[in-house]
């Protein structure tokens, strides 16, 4: 199913995106307190992962026909330092069938 693969891709990128955000914040602090400057590298890595997250979110949102509340929640989670981990957990539950999107029709 195409929409489930979009959710799977979003789930796979959400964890690394969350981790890269935390590492970028750590690198920012280290840049200001030491001579270590990995911000340009981590900034690019995080930027690429964030763009992938947004693209995969748009594809999953369209494919699964999520309501605005769910889509916006996943978007907001992407800009919070640990939000990617919560998004990954929520998407994993949906993939396992433990969490059903509100807009998704019930199948018999």
Tens-digit pLDDT profile for residues 35-44: 999 999 999 9
- pLDDT score at 1: 45
Residue range 87-100: mean pLDDT, rounded = 83
Cα 56 from Cα 41, distance rounded (Å): 23
Number of H helices, E strands in the chain: 4, 0
Q: Residue 22: what pLDDT?
A: 95
CA proximity to 21, closest of 89, 74, 73, 80: 80
Instruction: Say which DSSP state 102 is in.
Output: T
């Amino acid at each position: 199913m195409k929409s489930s693969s979009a959710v799977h891709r979003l789930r796979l990128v959400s964890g690394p995106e969350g981790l890269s955000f935390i590492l970028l914040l750590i690198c920012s602090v280290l840049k200001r307190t030491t001579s270590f400057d990995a911000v340009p590298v981590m900034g690019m890595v995080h930027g690429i992962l964030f763009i992938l997250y947004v693209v995969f979110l748009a594809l999953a949102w369209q494919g699964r026909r999520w309501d605005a509340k769910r889509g916006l929640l996943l978007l907001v989670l992407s800009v919070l330092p640990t939000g990617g981990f919560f998004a990954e957990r929520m998407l994993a539950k949906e993939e396992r069938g433990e969490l059903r999107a509100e807009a998704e029709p019930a199948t018999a």
